[in-house]
Amino acid sequence: MARFLIVEARFYDHLNDMLVAGAGAELKRNGHDYDVMTVPGALEIPGAIATVAESGRYDGFVAIGVVIRGETYHFEIVAGESARGVMALTMDGIAVGNGILTVENEAQAIVRADPAQKDKGGEAAKAAMVLLDIAQQYR
């Protein structure tokens, strides 16, 4: 049994609730425990994971958030930089599943967040578990 931390950028409560539920259900289904940490936004997720990873308290992480395109360039910055940050963590050998949705509108987010539909939270948890398995096998 491994211990995971779901790090969520809670901006859209109803969407995050679905993503966290999907991730948590997938982790539990595979016999793992998890905690949830909330950060202000998607840009803060990689930094929080990097800080907590140093503690050694968790074996893997699931990044959860929703970024919906708005009228400004801010969407591109948040979407790109949060993804880059999560990718950098995985390149450093930290098991992180990326469940940060980057969508055009709320309707797209609902389909992707809902565990009964695309279940991207559950998929992110699966990715984190696979990366942890790889790390344990090759370290």
Residues contributing to the annotated binding site: 11, 42-44, 66-68, 71-72, 98, 112
What kind and span of H or E run contains 8?
Answer: strand 3-9
137 token code pair: 């096998």
Per the annotation, binding residues for (2S)-2-hydroxy-3-oxobutyl phosphate are 71-72, 112
Bridge-partner residues for 39, per DSSP? 9
Beta strands in 69-138 (DSSP E): 96-103
Strands 3-9 and 33-39: parallel
Active-site entry in 33, 74, 80, 134: 74
Per the annotation, binding residues for 5-amino-6-(D-ribitylamino)uracil are 11, 42-44, 66-68, 98
Nearest 5°: phi and psi at 30?
-100, 10
Q: Is 14 a catalytic residue?
A: no
**Long-range CB pairs of 86-93, under 8 A, 24+ apart, other chains included:** 86/45, 86/46, 86/49, 88/46, 89/46, 89/49, 89/50, 89/53, 89/61, 90/131, 93/135, 93/139
Q: Which residues are catalytic?
A: 74
